Amino acid sequence: MASQTFSNNLNQFNLIAEGITTRADSLLDVGVTTADADAMRAYVTELNALNAEQEELKAQLKAKTEAMTTKMKEAKTKYSNLRKRVKIAVPKEDWVAYGITAKR
């Protein structure tokens, strides 16, 4: 059986809370009270808050990833340019001092 989506779970939690509230008298024999319904509603509220926070963090992560990708591209371009210029100006024997291991 496939797991339910986040929103489906919240709907189920709300439905059971509402059912308990409207039919509390018939559930007293099995120890289900309106406090249980309140607890389910509290879970829904907390889960909604956590979900909103998670979505905000996902958005921040996406922005940071884009910034890092852009910065990495800039750094690689600069590195490539510097490497070419060092290879022109420095004898091949000294390239290793700059971290250049190419033979040409």
Q: Mean pLDDT across the stretch 27-47?
A: 95
Q: Indicate whether 13 belongs to any domain.
A: yes
Query: 13-19 contacts: CB < 8 A, separation 24 or more?
Result: 13/40, 13/41, 13/43, 13/44, 13/47, 14/40, 14/41, 14/44, 16/40, 17/41, 17/44
What is the domain extent for residue 33? 6-98
pLDDT of 2 above 80: no
How many domains is the chain built from?
Answer: 1
Average pLDDT, the chain: 94
Q: Indicate whether 103 belongs to any domain.
A: no
Q: Indicate whether 37 belongs to any domain.
A: yes
pTM comes to 0.71
Residues 10 and 18 sit within 8 Å (Cβ to Cβ): no
Q: Indicate whether 1 belongs to any domain.
A: no
Q: Indicate whether 90 belongs to any domain.
A: yes
